[in-house]
A = this chain, B = another copy of it.
Amino acid sequence: MARIRIGMIGGGQGAFIGAVHRIALRMDDRFDLVAGCFSRDPDNTRATAAELGVDPSRAYASWEEMADKEAALPADERIEVVSIVTPNHVHYGPAKRFMEKGFHVICDKPLCTTVEDAEDLARTVESTGRIFALTHNYTGYPMIRQAREMVRSGEIGDVRKVFVEYLQGWLSEPLEADGQKQAAWRTDPAQSGPVGALGDIGTHAFNLLEHVTGLRVTDLYAVLRTFVEGRRLDDDDMVLINLDNGASGTLCSSQVCFGRENDLHLRAFGTSGAISWRQEHPNSLDVTGENGAVTTLRTATGATGAASTSLTRTPSGHPEGYLEGFANIYAAFARRLRGEDDLEDAYPTVHDGVRGVRFISACLASSSAGAWTEL
């Protein structure tokens, strides 16, 4: 089947997540990267295009120009999808414009920086009929799919308690003061939006929690805090949550937990079982059975279901990781675009994005008011 023509906004030289998206789209050979506006700096865009083998004529100076010119190309030449991998403040604009111009969208998270924009994007998806995927990439891991199916089908009974943590340590020092690029934009309200760690990683934790359990956070009590002097956004968040089935729990996201790498850890305890999954060891899922013993399920084995196995590329014991999980979002998007059968909820949508932005908004309100806040 013909590869899907894709363009990219962001991801120029020096960026991190753009390169990840590109590996993800190459992994399963379903996309051709044929256009891009990789940076606000035209030199960077040109150099990046050259490096990536993108035709110079389709290396654009601005995303606005890219939208216009790609739309003007013949249908069998123009891109079909745009991937938006810019800092948060440049999600809403291009996402809306490209959908309106007839393109499907893959967008990095968080969806955008205000609830109003988020809802507007949701309406745009609906009105244009475009396919929209948000790269909450951790949902692309096979064992997250396994956990989701087990929890939703009642294998641990009714969920009572959830604990979700996303702990990093790389911002323990004021790296932004030294101009480290990844730190700089994430701690700059103009680029990151009203929150720091909460948007960068807290929204992943929130998304994973709702994705796996199928439950919704109804209200929360949040304490957002900044530990590193001079930093302008939160670098540590503690959130107490209630869920719509009566469960409760904690959600902690922090980028000042010294030494922690990318420690996203989800636990859910039900009335007759429990699950635990840790991103740094993604091919295992610990499941507590009715007798209280913990069984470690592993990807691509006889002990896991067809859905999780459909997300693997290697036999059991051949570890897959972050890039493969990310690629699974792209692959699901490709299948959806080509009309192939797929898993239910195969990729995060604009609605997940709206939830995430509302979560941020509720946390900000709660933390300011010192009060439980509905979401």
Contacts and interface: CB of A to CB of B under 8 A. Distances in A.
A272 interface: yes
B27 A261 contact: no
Contacts of A334: none
Interface stretch (A68-76, A112-120, A289-297): A289-297
Contacts of A169: 269, 274, 292
Contacts of A270: 258
Contacts of A291: 301-303
B317 A261 contact: yes
A262 to B, nearest CB: 3
Contacts of A314: 20, 321-323
Nearest to A173: B271
Contact of A252 (B163, B257, B289, B293): B163
Contacts of A28: 23
Nearest to A19: B313
Contacts of A19: 313
Interface residues of A, number: 81
A374 interface: no
Q: Which of A52, A172, A279, A370 has its CB near the most chain B CB atoms (within 10 A)?
A: A172
Contact of A293 (B157, B172, B296, B371): B296
A256 B303 contact: no
Contacts of A156: 258
A270 B323 CA distance: 31
Contacts of A97: none
A21 to B, nearest CB: 12
Given A291-B303, A293-B298, A314-B322, 6 more contacts: A26-B29, A29-B52, A221-B221, A223-B248, A281-B281, A283-B321
12 contacts: A157-B258, A169-B292, A172-B271, A257-B269, A258-B274, A260-B274, A261-B315, A282-B319, A293-B297, A294-B296, A320-B321, A323-B324
